[in-house]
Amino acid sequence: MDKQDLLIAYKQGDRLMNESNLSGLNLSGELLKEVNFSQSNFSTGVFDRADFSYCQFHDSTFERASLFGSNLSYAKLDRCNLSHTNLTKANLQGARINHSNLNYAQLSGAILYWASFYRAQLQKVNLCGANLRGINFRGADLTGANLSWANLSQAKLSGAILDDTNLDGVRLRGAYLNALDLSHRNLDGLDLQNIIFNGGQCHHTYLAGANLTNAQLRLTQFIETVFDQATLCQADFREGNLQRASLKRVEAIATNFTKSILIEANFEGANLQNANFSGANLRDANFRNADLRGANFTDANLSNAQFDPMQLRDCTLAQTIPSEDSAAA
C-alpha cells in the first residue's frame, strides 16, 4: 500500500488495515488514529509527529523506523519489534507494549507514564530523566538501560532484570520491587518512601541517607548493607536479614524489626524510639548512644549486645536473652 492509497482509505472510514506493508513510507504529521495495523510492516519508515493514538499494532515490526514526537497514546503494541526505533519525545501514555523488543530504542523525552512493558526487551535503552510514573516493567529485561534521574514512582518492577542498569538519582516512591536483586548498588540518598520490596536481595548495598519511610521490606536480605543516617521510620523489616548491617544514626521511629536477624548490626547513635525488636536475634549488636525509649525487645536475643548504662530502663524486655550490659544495668 502506498501513501496515497492509505490516506484515501482512512479518509473514507477504513480502519482495518492489518497486514499492510508500509516499509520505508513517510507519513510524518498524518492523522491515523484508531486504526488496526496488526501484523504490519513499518520498518525504516518515517512517521515523525504522526497521530497513531488508540491504534492496534499487534505483531508488527518498526525496526529502525522513526517515530519522533509521534502520538502513540493508548496504542496496543504487544509483541512488536521496535528495536533501534526512534521514539524520542513520542507520547506513549497508557500504551501497551507487552512482550515487545525495544532493544537499543531511543526513548529520550518520551511520555511513558502508566504504559505497560510487561516482559519487554529493553536492553541498553536510554530513559534518563524520563517520567515513568506508574509504568509496568514487571519481568522486563532492562539490562544496561539508563534510568538515571527517572521518575519511577508507583512503577511495577517486580521480576525485572536490572543487570548493569543505571539507577543514579532515580525516584522510586511507592514502587513495587518485590523479589528484585539490588545487591552491590549505590542507592544513597534515594527517595524510597512506601516502596514494596518484600523477599528481595540487597546485600552490600549503600543506602546511606535514603528515605525508606513506610517501606515494606519483609523477608528481604540486607546483609552488610549500609543505612547510615537513613530515614527508616515505620518501615517493616519483619523476618529480614540485616546481619552486620550498619545503621548508625538512622531515624527508625516505630520501625518493625520483629523476628529479624540483626547479628552484629550497628545501631550506634540511632533514634529507635518505639521500635519493635520482638523475637529478633540481636547477638553482638551495638546500641551505644542510641535512643531506645519505648523500644520492644520481648523474646529478643540480646546476648553480647552492647548498651550504655541505664539505656534499657524505658524498654520492654519480657523473656529476652539478656546481654551482659543489660544484666549489669
Per-residue pLDDT at 327 exceeds 60: no
Residue with cell 512517521: 47
Give how far the C-alpha of residue 102 lies from the chain's centroid of Cα atoms, to the nearest Å.
19
Half-sphere exposure of 185 (CA within 13 A, CB side): 22
Instruction: Answer whether 120's CB lies under 8 Å from 98's CB.
Output: yes
Residue type, position 276, single letter: N
Interior CA angle at 84 toward 47 and 78, to 5°? 75
Q: Which three cell numbers stand for residue 189?
A: 540518598
| Mean local confidence (pLDDT), 217-225 | 98
The whole model's pTM is what?
0.87
Report the b/e string of 159-190 with b at 16+ CB within 10 A.
bbbbeebbbeebbbbbbbbbebebbebebbeb
Percent of the chain with pLDDT over 90: 91
Per-residue pLDDT at 170 exceeds 70: yes
Per-residue pLDDT at 328 exceeds 50: no
Instruction: Answer whether 293's CB lies under 8 Å from 313's CB.
Output: no
How much is the mean pLDDT over the chain? 95
Per-residue pLDDT at 323 exceeds 70: no
- What does the alpha-carbon distance between residue 291 and residue 293 come to, in Å, rounded to a whole number? 6
Residue with cell 552491590: 184
| Mean local confidence (pLDDT), 289-301 | 96
Per-residue pLDDT at 175 exceeds 60: yes
Instruction: Answer whether 94's CB lies under 8 Å from 72's CB.
Output: no
Q: Which domains does the chain have, with CATH numbers?
A: 177-329 (2.160.20.80)
Instruction: Answer whether 250's CB lies under 8 Å from 270's CB.
Output: yes
Q: Which three cell numbers stand for residue 32?
A: 491515523
| Residue in 185, 192, 287, 277 with CA at minimum distance from that of residue 240 | 277
